[in-house]
Structure 1
Amino acid sequence: MVLDKIENYKLYENLSERIAKGFEFINNTDLVQIESGKYQIDNDAIFAIVQEYDTKEVKDCKLEGHTKYIDIQYIIKGVELMGVTTKNNQKMILTDEEKDYSFYEGDTSLIRVEEGMFTIFFPDDLHRPCVKADQVSKVKKVVVKVQIR
């Protein structure tokens, strides 16, 4: 897992060509004006999902993980907490291989992710996004999905 400010993205773009293309989308798109929805970057290999939502209580947020895609989650507006942990012996409660997600039961440590910050979640990382910080916040976020293979 990576947590950093977008101005430091160059530290991570050499992880893979696809991650570099994901950061290129984030840095070269008017994300403040972009509408919510799905955006193709490189067919199914790299795509972005722009979301807008209100943060919620931690009990109302799902712990999730992926196996085919890396997530780059960039906060355009707002602030949220994200629960994070590494995949070990958590109990899987639901999985959808086609949509590349699994939900788990388990404890996490909360990190604060503010406007202008991003996270990178790899397949060994579980994350619980959308958690409210001090108060409910309207968040606009882009999740860039980067296919591993």
Structure 2
Amino acid sequence: MIVDKSNNASQYTMCSAWKKAFDFIHEVTPETPDGRYEIDGARIYALVMSYMTKQPSEGKLEAHKQYADIQVILSGEERIAVTSTDFLKSSEAYNPKQDLVFYECPDSFSAQINLRTGDFAFFLPQDAHMPMICIDQPKSVKKLVVKIDLQTLAR
């Protein structure tokens, strides 16, 4: 997991997929319409979404097996709880079509990060994460999630 400001992304030595993702990220604004955006076909794509954050008791702990996530807050703020998938028990079977598995919530998390406008978090498959959690009280958030296929990330 990496957590930082999106304008610091160039400080990380990563593959060309990282650069493509952040080139796209730097073009997106809070006014960008919600929806799916192709960056490099199915290898790298983005989802822009708007929603209200929720209480932790309403959250779902998730992870992915085929894609890494770069989650960027375009406006607003949210908390994301994170823990390793090593000792978690799945609450729903892995859905390969959505590349999504949900887990039972542990008694505690390895980290709880607060993301605000301009912040990003990078999650790999071992990083189970519960996004969309409110900081203090529910608020409106506009978020961009870039999905990078792990085989593309490894190049």
Does TM, normalized by the shorter one, top 0.5? yes
Listed as ranges, the matches of 1:34-45 within 5 Å are 34-45=32-43
Q: Pick which of 20-29 and 60-69 moved more.
A: 20-29
- 1:106 Cα deviation (Å)? 2.6
Q: Secondary structure at the match of 1:92?
A: coil
User: Counterpart of 1:65?
Assistant: 63
Q: What corresponds to 1:111 in structure 2?
A: 113
What SS does the corresponding residue of 1:90 show, helix, strand or coil?
coil
Tell me the equivalent position of 1:17.
16
Q: Greater share of strand residues, 1 or 2?
A: 1
TM-score, reference length from structure 2:
0.91
Structure 1 residue 15, shift from structure 2 partner: 1.7
Percent identity (aligned): 36
Q: Deviations over 1:6-52 (max 9, x none)?
A: 1211122x3221121111100123x2221000000111000000000
Alpha-carbon RMSD across the aligned residues, in angstroms, is 1.0
- Cα offset, 1:4, TM superposition: 0.3
Q: 2:125 aligns with which of 115, 118, 123?
A: 123
Aligned to 1:147: 149
* Structure 2: segments with no counterpart, 5+ residues: none
Query: SS of the residue aligned with 1:96?
Result: coil
> TM-score, with normalisation over the residues of structure 1?
0.95
Instruction: Name structure 1 gaps, 5 residues minimum.
Output: none
How many angstroms apart in 2 are the aligned matches of 1:106 and 1:88? 13
Secondary structure of residue in 1 paired with 2:90: strand
- Matching of residues 77-96 of structure 1 within 5 Å: 77-94=75-92, 95-96=94-95
Whole-Å separation in 1 of the counterparts to 2:105 and 2:31: 36
Give the secondary-structure state (helix, strand or coil) at the position aligned to 1:33. Answer: coil
Letter in 2 for 1:73: Q
**1:136 paired residue number:** 138
Name 1:5's counterpart in structure 2: 5
Runs of 4+ in 1 over 6 A off after TM superposition: none
Alignment correspondent of 1:56? 54
Amino acid at match of 1:131: I
